[in-house]
Amino acid sequence: MLLADHDVAQFHELGFVMIEGVFSDGEVRLLRDAFESVSRSDHPANVVEKHTGAIRTAMGLHRRHAVFDRLVRDRRLVEPAVQLIGDQQLYAQQVKVNVKAAEVGEAWQWHYDFATHHHEDGVVLPLALNLHIFLDDVTMDNGPLQFVRGSHLVGAHETFLDTETTSYDLWCVSDEVVQPLADVNGVYTATGAAGSLLIFGDTLLHASPPNTSALDRRIFSLILNPVANASTIDRRHDWQHHREFVPIVASSATSLLL
């Protein structure tokens, strides 16, 4: 699946692109079931929220369930990534579902992914793409992602390591840095139906508020990075940054349903 020219243009201008209706209802059900199965296991890659113990994120999923192994090779993810990054061999750097459970799902602070990839994993260039599939309808109330439009064009923002706010350590950007840019460029809130595909780059400023609604908000996330730009530091768990730098080959299958 290739992106239309206007989607590619939007990605370069704003730093993200969203396409609704990419995965069918049946595929979304399959992915939710696979997630429910891995989330029940006692595994260190299931990270829980700081305040309630509800699951926050489940990582390393392509190594833990056959459906996610198929998904990381799905042409609807791999082909647009190659199109946007350029003709490079890509590996699966991180494979997870960020949950944000109804009423207890906590925030993700303002950050850009490359700050963590660089500081923690020694990745040299901000080339990775974060590809999301909505596993629930994402609304204004259940903790949608927010992006500062065009913030990927500004250059490196000053960062700090936040080990306090949530259970997941993250290199963050302060509100004092984000706010002036958000005032000028505007903020886009990524709402949409389950089955939507959202793609954003490594230097785009983003965050998401707590889930104050009665509806879960589960989002699958695959980060693809060029093999030539692989991590150089092995400090974090493998499930936080995989070190099997094997190029992903897009599958010829047109559906996840066998």
Ligand X SMILES: O=C(O)CCC(=O)C(=O)O
219 counts as binding ligand X under rule CB under 6 A: yes
> What strands lie across the sheet with 206-208, from one edge to the other?
108-111, 206-208, 145-148, 187-190
Residue 105 sits at the vertex; the CA angle it makes with 99 and 111, to the nearest 5 degrees, is 80
Q: Which two tokens stand for residue 87?
A: 């003709």
Q: Which two tokens stand for residue 11?
A: 């990605």
148 counts as binding ligand X under rule CB under 6 A: no
CA distance 134 to 154: 28
Query: Exactly one of 23, 91, 108, 110 binds ligand X (CB under 6 A); which one?
Result: 108
Query: Exactly one of 17, 30, 65, 98 binds ligand X (CB under 6 A); which one?
Result: 98
CA distance 4 to 236: 37
114 counts as binding ligand X under rule CB under 6 A: no
Nearer to ligand X, 152 or 206 (CB): 206
159 counts as binding ligand X under rule CB under 6 A: no
The sign of the torsion formed by the CA atoms of 130, 210, 102, 169 equals positive
CA distance 247 to 199: 20
Nearer to ligand X, 23 or 171 (CB): 171
Under rule CB under 6 A, how many of the chain's residues touch ligand X? 11
168 counts as binding ligand X under rule CB under 6 A: no
SS (H, E, C) 128-142: CEEEEEECCCECCCC
Q: At closest approach, how far in Å is the CB of 130 from ligand X?
A: 5
Q: Which two tokens stand for residue 130?
A: 């974060």
Q: At closest approach, how far in Å is the CB of 176 from ligand X?
A: 20
Q: At closest approach, how far in Å is the CB of 100 from ligand X?
A: 6
151 counts as binding ligand X under rule CB under 6 A: no
Nearer to ligand X, 145 or 178 (CB): 145
Q: At closest approach, how far in Å is the CB of 169 from ligand X?
A: 13
Nearer to ligand X, 159 or 208 (CB): 208
Query: Exactly one of 206, 218, 241, 242 binds ligand X (CB under 6 A); which one?
Result: 206
Cβ-count burial 37-64 (b if 16+ within 10 Å, e if not): ebeeeeeebbbebeeeebbbbbbbbbbb
Q: At closest approach, how far in Å is the CB of 61 from ligand X?
A: 13
34 counts as binding ligand X under rule CB under 6 A: no
Contacts of 40 (CB under 8 A, 6+ apart): none
* Positions 55 through 74 that interact with ligand X (CB under 6 A): none
- List of residues contacting ligand X (CB under 6 A): 98, 100, 108, 113, 130, 143, 145, 206, 208, 219, 221
